[in-house]
Structure 1
Amino acid sequence: MATMSSNLRRRPSTSAGRPLTDNPNPNRNPNWRDWEGISQSMAAQIAGHALANDVADYLQFRAACAPWREHTEDPKKHSVLDQRFHPHRWILLPEERSAVDGPRWRRMLNLSHGTKITLDLPHLLGGHAVAAGPGGSPGGILVLMDEHSLVVRLLNPLTGQGIDLPSVAPVLSRRSEGRLGLAKAFSGLRNVTGAGFAGNSTVVLHFGYDNKLVSTKLGDDHWEIVSNDSLMCSAFPFYGKVYVANGDGLMVVDAEAAPPKLELAAQWPPMEITLVHMADSSGELMVLTNKACFKKGSDDYMVEFHIFRLDADAGTLVEVKDLGDRALFVGDYCGGLLVSAKEGIIPNSIYFQHDRLNKFYVRRVSDDQTRRLTEAHRGSFIDDLTSYVAWNGRNMTKSQLLLADLGDNNKAC
């Protein structure tokens, strides 16, 4: 079970129901209040405010004393897909940045205020691979895969809620060669490049190196293939829907269809697009398109960014000219992180990775000025963000990565 380190200490249980001012020793502390004995309705109200702010606050409130736990809902009695208990603004840092006191202890970072916590995650031991980066943790839920059986497990790292899903082995290819004729082990094809939840019961996974978008419903014993096509963007979860991008436009998974299928959410504007990223912009779906190419015979990396928001009612993409005091971090996969500019982060900017040289650059949205990102202090907020979006879970040699990044999506200028 995931446990969260905290300074809170549980007090010995006493009888509940006393008035808050009923001090058993009034001469010791005139400001004493019997918080442990607050009414059930008051405890529930405080817990509701804590949960609305952050599930971590809710868990700390419940950990304070036994009566408060009795008066509030236990997340483990609810589905792992219950979004009320999802750690939406928490990310699991890559192992090399977060492993402490052994492999089962990992760090998580809060995107809103930069707080880090240490978790005991024994589920990551015993041959379980964790889906990497922003695309692999919808709503903060970890997607784990047994490396032998390929059984998928969903895990809420804060609450400990979890569930096992069917093995994906029957829907994955067994080919040994992929793009550009590179030899690809089966372990490469099974990397989860995107994941999301559609509604209250459907799980969607994207295996980008195998061109497979699959889905299953809780309780089903198999996965359905939604798409075999090459996508410009992996699965991205957004308020109960899952979006992807292909040549036709921005697509959404219709989980109620039998079998599930892709429906057009919005057509692309008339422009050339090679890469797409998505992010949550305070309740609006932000879409970043990129025309990326290399100059022949050099390492010059040309990018042309356009930012949009989805108008779901009109089925259109509306261009966005300014990010305000925020910055967008994007890496190899679809998911991006939109955060407040602080601790040296430049506002109204896009932080992106030069795939071929494994370097980060920052581009100001206002004037398209781009510069190389200087190496940040290890463990700083900006260092954690760039490490996270660059985390892609690939296990390929450097030469293979250089060749692979010259494939279908990254064209020559």
Structure 2
Amino acid sequence: MVLTGLSHPAFLLYKIQGGSEYAWVKQDCTITDPQHHWDKSERHRYMQFTNAIGFEGKFYALSLQRTLAIIEVTDPYPEITAVSTTRAVPSISSRHFREYLVETAGEILLVFLISNKSSTDVVDSVEAFRLHLGKLSWVKIESLGDRALFVGVNCCMVVSASKIGFRSDCLYFTHFSSNGWLVYDMKRGQISPCDQYMLNQQSQ
């Protein structure tokens, strides 16, 4: 397990130490963020991580400047072995956004909840990207196929929509200003309250 969102240390890693004992390992980062020119303050010069996900024995972490880094668990301390050259940001213009990392079927997905107004209380658009592991670049996804994707503050997951009974090619999400789930229909490009969306589908 890895914890991000810290400035010092850069991240905390919970790993086995000395046989069967688990311990927290603190790790600072002395690598200058390749996207440092977006925020030239010395405080943000080195990579600080805001989001991370475990995948195939490694951690894939996004920095404050939206650079992707691969963190490998090595002894005695974890090591950053690769960083992306591009930023992980929405393809459309936005004033605010929140990002979520999700692992599914051997892939890492990145979801953006995008707000175009001054407030982040309303989500105006949603975008999803797939990580190209070889290039460490993000490829926009236009369809989820039979999958339904769920993202929230405390949990992210992907299910087979046909097996569970949810609508396929949809992204379900919660937001701080919402009292329930919202659903983004990838095919229609529309956001609706989840209960209203289900009623509309049943009436068709």
> Is the TM-score greater than 0.5?
yes
Aligned equivalent of 1:288 = 111
Aligned equivalent of 1:215 = 13
- Per-residue CA deviations over 1:149-184 (Å, capped at 9, x if unaligned) read xxxxxxxxxxxxxxxxxxxxxxxxxxxxxxxxxxxx
Q: 2:71 aligns with which of 216, 233, 253?
A: 253
Whether 1:324 and 2:145 are equivalent positions in the alignment is yes
Distance 2:57 2:148 in 1: 25
Please report how far the alpha carbon of residue 261 of structure 1 lies from its aligned counterpart in structure 2 after TM superposition: 4.3
Distance 1:257 1:304 in 2: 42
Distance 2:6 2:116 in 1: 20
One-letter code aligned to 2:70: V
Q: 2:127 aligns with which of 284, 295, 306?
A: 306
Task: Answer yes or no: is the 8 Å Cα contact 1:295–1:302 preserved in 2.
Answer: no
Distance 1:210 1:315 in 2: 24
Aligned equivalent of 2:158 = 338
**SS of residue matched to 1:287:** strand
Q: 2:168 aligns with which of 338, 347, 350?
A: 347
Aligned equivalent of 1:239 = 56
Distance 1:344 1:248 in 2: 35
Please report how far the alpha carbon of residue 369 of structure 1 lies from its aligned counterpart in structure 2 after TM superposition: 1.0
The alpha-carbon distance between structure 1 residues 360 and 256, as it changes in their structure 2 partners (threshold 3 A), is same
The alpha-carbon distance between structure 1 residues 336 and 255, as it changes in their structure 2 partners (threshold 3 A), is same
Aligned equivalent of 1:110 = none
Aligned equivalent of 1:170 = none
Please report how far the alpha carbon of residue 210 of structure 1 lies from its aligned counterpart in structure 2 after TM superposition: 8.1
Distance 1:209 1:280 in 2: 23
- Which has the larger Rg? 1
Please report how far the alpha carbon of residue 256 of structure 1 lies from its aligned counterpart in structure 2 after TM superposition: 3.2
Distance 1:264 1:226 in 2: 16
Please report how far the alpha carbon of residue 248 of structure 1 lies from its aligned counterpart in structure 2 after TM superposition: 3.5
Distance 1:254 1:268 in 2: 21
Distance 1:358 1:293 in 2: 21
Aligned equivalent of 2:201 = none
Aligned equivalent of 1:267 = 86
Please report how far the alpha carbon of residue 367 of structure 1 lies from its aligned counterpart in structure 2 after TM superposition: 2.2
The alpha-carbon distance between structure 1 residues 286 and 346, as it changes in their structure 2 partners (threshold 3 A), is same
Please report how far the alpha carbon of residue 361 of structure 1 lies from its aligned counterpart in structure 2 after TM superposition: 0.3
Aligned equivalent of 1:367 = 188
Name whichever structure is richer in helix by fraction. 1
Please report how far the alpha carbon of residue 358 of structure 1 lies from its aligned counterpart in structure 2 after TM superposition: 3.4
- Per-residue CA deviations over 1:111-162 (Å, capped at 9, x if unaligned) read xxxxxxxxxxxxxxxxxxxxxxxxxxxxxxxxxxxxxxxxxxxxxxxxxxxx
User: Identity over the aligned pairs, expressed in percent?
Assistant: 21
One-letter code aligned to 1:224: K
One-letter code aligned to 1:239: E
Structure 1 unpaired stretches of 5+: 1-194, 196-204, 376-413
One-letter code aligned to 2:188: D
**SS of residue matched to 1:351:** strand
TM-score by length of 1: 0.35
Please report how far the alpha carbon of residue 217 of structure 1 lies from its aligned counterpart in structure 2 after TM superposition: 4.4
Task: Answer yes or no: is the 8 Å Cα contact 2:145–2:168 preserved in 1.
Answer: yes
Distance 1:258 1:267 in 2: 30
Please report how far the alpha carbon of residue 357 of structure 1 lies from its aligned counterpart in structure 2 after TM superposition: 3.0
One-letter code aligned to 1:341: A
One-letter code aligned to 2:104: S
Q: 1:278 aligns with which of 89, 96, 101?
A: 101
One-letter code aligned to 2:134: D
Please report how far the alpha carbon of residue 258 of structure 1 lies from its aligned counterpart in structure 2 after TM superposition: 6.3
The alpha-carbon distance between structure 1 residues 304 and 339, as it changes in their structure 2 partners (threshold 3 A), is same
Please report how far the alpha carbon of residue 309 of structure 1 lies from its aligned counterpart in structure 2 after TM superposition: 1.2
Distance 1:266 1:257 in 2: 27
User: What is the aligned-residue RMSD (CA, Å)?
Assistant: 3.2
